[in-house]
Structure 1
Amino acid sequence: MSSIDIHKETAEDITARMVNRFEGYSKESLGLADERRWIFQTVAYALFVRNETTNEGFKMNFVRYTKGEYADEIGTFTDTERLPAHRASVVLRFEIEEPKEHLIAVSPIRVTPGNDVYFLTEYFEFKPGEISKDVIAFCTEAGVVGNGFLPGEINKIVDPFPFYKAVRNLETSQGGAEVESDNSLKKRIMEAPSKFSTAGPGDGYKYWAKTANQDIIDVDAAKTTPGTVRVTPLMKGGELPSDSVLADVMSTCSDSKRRPLTDNLEVNKPTQIPYEIDFTYYISRSNIGLVNEIQNKVLQAVDEYVLWQKGALKRDINPTELSYLVRNAGAKRLEIRKPLFTPVNIFEVAKETSVNPIYGGIEDD
């Protein structure tokens, strides 16, 4: 798409215009070493800088170009605010020594994996006869710092309570995000008109689901049975959302101003469609001096393909894209055994199970 700059002249264009006009009025010729030409060049550069500043300010009025505080202001036209830093969440399982005949009330407590990162619960209770309780906890610090702790790693209690025995996380902590980026905010601004309908459009559910967490990169929303809407979010890097992120999406989309009273709402994880990558590639003899470099680029191309393949819901498993990326990396040709073309349906996402690129050697052109 072409630029929408108001001023398109370069500093050289402005200088030439000024010199030509001066020479036309004065009937004098300005040589390259003429001091008056230097003055014109200085003024022309200042005008060029002013023009560029004007261009930049003008483009801030359009969603495609806007950034920073300008993007925040553009968002106010559709009531779309930049998402603040988000705290990671995780499901913790608490255990007590033995079942009790009375209720045990537990005030909010902190649990840590042991590296100065803390997760805080809300108030919860062990009812009579219960020995374990699953509770959602949020990182005390916003941002990505609380992401990525594997099941069982968050297991040290900071604020013990009576009859406490053990605690551990049941899932990988997820959902922590820094302040929303300009690109993410602009995408939501463009999708914002869908949120104003109260009739339950699919795009409306997609918009509100993405506001639950800025690491949600794609959402499917569709009617599964009459009166039932399923919303399926996908996280950055093609990861599945945790149970706590699903709970956030459910809460966000269930607001009385967003969900029609006639809709039964379900929020589920995508179904992963497994596939394998197995191919042999060859390098042209004319590139024999670049074999190591091409091999590294091929591995990078495979990584790029894997991320592309799981970067969106309902994206078919497509070996043609793999062939394109590997050849673009410098391979002469490749023999793809896997994957085969596989349709990926709504609420599904591709997931690699094994990756096996094999270098087949040098071939004549």
Structure 2
Amino acid sequence: MSSNLDIHKESAEEITARFINKFEKLGGESLALSDERRWLLQAIAYGFFIRNQTTNEGFKMNFVRHTKGEFTDEIGVFTDTERLPAKAATDTLRFEIEEAQPNVIGVTPTRVTPGNNLYFITDYFEFAPGETSKDVIGTCTEVGEVGNDFLPGEINKIVDPFPFFKSVTNLDGSQGGAEIESDASLKERIREAPSKFSTAGPGDGYKYWAKTAHQDIIDVNVAKTTPGTVRITPLMKGGELPTDSILEAVKTVCSDKKRRPLTDNLIVNKPSQITYDIDFTYYISNSNVGLVNEIKAKVQKSVSDYIAWQKGALKRDINPTELNYLVRKAGAKRIEIINPKFTVVETFEVAKEVNVNPVYGGIEDD
């Protein structure tokens, strides 16, 4: 199927027919289906068709909507929008020594591991006289999501021990690791890029720059809280809250003297979570009795889809109508929703599910 942007719109069959008709007109004879010259023209026509398709795809790489791969990077050059590189996960590590010392203890960059050949390394840090514990940031030595989701207490084995060392553990749970930015994310930022050139501190400009701090930032809200004060609220992929390090990265990016008017005081905060429960009973039509297990599985997926949709953006009201729609679409005859109730979600808020309890109520007549 050809696109409106295609330069060459002929199908392989149309090119073949054109070649054969031209040959027959110039040669004054018809080519039978078994004629070897007809076969040769078909092969040549197919070669032209493949060349045309390649030309069409190359032409479409000039447009943000259709571009992909390295072509997207080149489109980004026009608005000074570069693909974000992969990032390493971080976590706060608490080091303890056996007893306080009268002198400063300097610790060179030290590796810590959860025990799976994955390492988190610190910068140089010091224990001041009298200190027995020190909290420092550890950065995964491998970029990407591989360093994410270690729970507090799981990164607890030192690789490079130092004098008086007693113990180490991670405090927050490792987060922030991300793969190289996807084409979809980069193209969205390219579309938003014109906003970044204003020096008047527009909300869209702050949104653009905030998203450059980390490729897992899926939504940003910008609002003036008081005269001269701007609050920036980023939301992470999957509706997760940003870590302190990501908040600091957002503030650093947006505070550049070329991006922040001198009159703006920036505050970067985590979204507030508005919790809700999912509790409903659904019924399946008697005419679908043979599809009960399939519909049950689809209903479970529809609940997961609803949860992802609900926390996929800031300020998205908790809406049971969407849940009803998705469950009905999955094959349920009807649904009795106890929770959630419709709830307005404010500017800096995101919905977060707590208890999820879909109940199969049985078969009903149509």
TM-score under structure 2 normalisation? 0.94
* Counterparts of 1:97 and 1:250, CA distance in 2: 37
Q: In structure 2, what is the Cα distance between the partners aligned to 1:172 and 1:191?
A: 32
- Which residue in the other structure is 1:318 paired with? 319
| Contact 1:61-1:74 within 8 A present in 2 as well | yes
- Which stretch of structure 1 is more off in the superposition, 255-264 or 177-186? 255-264
Aligned equivalent of 1:330 = 331
Q: How far 1:258 sits from its partner (Å)?
A: 2.2
Q: Distance in 2 between matches of 1:99 and 1:225?
A: 46
AA at the equivalent of 2:93: L
In the aligned structure 1, how far is the partner of 2:253 from the partner of 2:100? 36
Per the alignment, residue 223 of structure 2 pairs with 222
SS at match of 2:89: strand
Answering whether residue 92 of structure 2 is matched by residue 69 of structure 1, we say no
Partner in structure 1 of residue 126 of structure 2? 125
| 1:285 positional shift | 1.5
2 CA distance for matches of 1:224 and 1:104? Answer: 44
User: Deviation at 1:293?
Assistant: 0.8
**SS of the counterpart of 1:78?**
coil
Secondary structure in 2 matching 1:313: coil
> Which residue identity lines up with residue 300 of structure 2 in the other structure?
L
Alignment of structure 1 residues 132-171 onto 2, 5 Å: 132-171=133-172
CA deviation after TM superposition for structure 1 residue 109, in Å: 1.6
Residues 66 and 343 of structure 1: CA distance in aligned 2, closer, same or farther (over 3 Å) = same
Partners of 1:230 and 1:65 in 2: CA distance? 34
TM-score, structure 1 normalization: 0.94
Q: Is the 8 A contact 1:86 1:179 kept in 2?
A: yes
Distance in 1 between residues matched to 2:134 and 2:262, nearest whole Å: 32
8 Å CA contact 1:272, 1:350 repeated in 2: yes
Shift of 1:149: 0.5
- Greater CA drift, 102-111 or 304-313: 102-111
Structure 1 residues 298 and 8: alpha-carbon distance in aligned structure 2, compared to 1, 3 A threshold:
same
1:351 paired with 2:331, answer no
The structure-2 alpha-carbon separation of the partners of 1:101 and 1:223, relative to structure 1 and needing over 3 Å to count, comes to farther
Distance in 1, matches of 2:173 and 2:358, equals 30
Which has the larger displacement, 95-104 or 120-129? 95-104
Which position in structure 1 is the counterpart of 2:244?
A: 243
Deviations 1:49-103 (A, max 9, x none): 0110000000000111111111111111111111111111112222333444544
Residue pairs, 1:178-257, within 5 angstroms: 178-257=179-258
User: How many Å separate the matches in 1 of 2:275 and 2:346?
Assistant: 13
1:26 Cα deviation from its structure 2 partner: 4.8
Deviation at 1:47, TM superposition (A): 1.1
Q: Given the superposition, is the C-alpha separation of residues 198 and 123 from structure 1 closer, same or farther in structure 2, using an over 3 Å criterion?
A: farther
Counterpart amino acid of residue 98 in structure 2: E
Aligned with 2:78: secondary structure? Answer: helix
**1:251-278 Cα deviation digits (max 9, x unpaired):** 2222222222222222111111101111
Inter-CA distance 264–45: structure 2 relative to 1 (3 Å threshold) = same
Match of 1:261 in 2: 262
Q: How many residues align?
A: 364
Instruction: Tell me, in whole angstroms, the C-alpha distance in 1 between the residues paired with 2:113 and 2:227.
Output: 44
Q: 1:277·1:338 contact (CA, 8 Å) conserved in 2?
A: yes
CA deviations on 1:170-208 (whole Å, 9 max, x unpaired) are 212111111111111111111111111222221122112
Matched residue, 2:39: 38
* Counterparts of 1:279 and 1:147, CA distance in 2: 34
CA distance in 2, matches of 1:331, 1:105: 65
Rounded Cα–Cα distance in structure 2 between residues aligned with 1:3 and 1:170: 55
SS in 2 for 1:334: strand
Deviates more, 1:182-191 or 1:116-125: 116-125
Moved more, 47-56 or 155-164: 155-164
Residue ranges of structure 1 left out of the alignment (5+ in a row): none
Does residue 105 of structure 2 align to residue 104 of structure 1?
yes
Distance 1:23 1:332, change over 3 A: farther
Matching residue of 1:173: 174
Q: Is the 8 A contact 1:89 1:245 kept in 2?
A: no
Indicate how the Cα distance of structure 1 residues 251 and 126 shifts in structure 2: closer, same or farther if over 3 A, else same.
farther
**Structure 2: 5+ residue runs without aligned partners?**
none
Q: Aligned equivalents of 1:91 and 1:3: distance in 2? A: 53
Where do residues 7-22 of structure 1 align in structure 2 (5 Å cutoff)? 7-22=8-23
Question: What corresponds to 2:54 in structure 1?
Answer: 53
Q: Which secondary structure does the structure 2 equivalent of 1:32 belong to?
A: coil
* Aligned counterpart, 2:80: 79
Worse-matched range after superposition: 104-113 or 288-297: 104-113
What percentage of residue pairs aligned between the two structures are identical? 73
* In structure 2, distance between residues paired with 1:326 and 1:3: 36
Task: Report SS of the residue matched to 1:293.
Answer: helix
Deviations 1:91-123 (A, max 9, x none): 222233344454433332222111111111122
- DSSP-derived class of the 1:349 partner: strand
Cα distance change, pair 38–93 in 1 and its aligned pair in 2 (3 A): same
Which segment drifts farther, 278-287 or 104-113? 104-113
Give the Cα separation in 1 of the matches to 2:49 and 2:62: 21
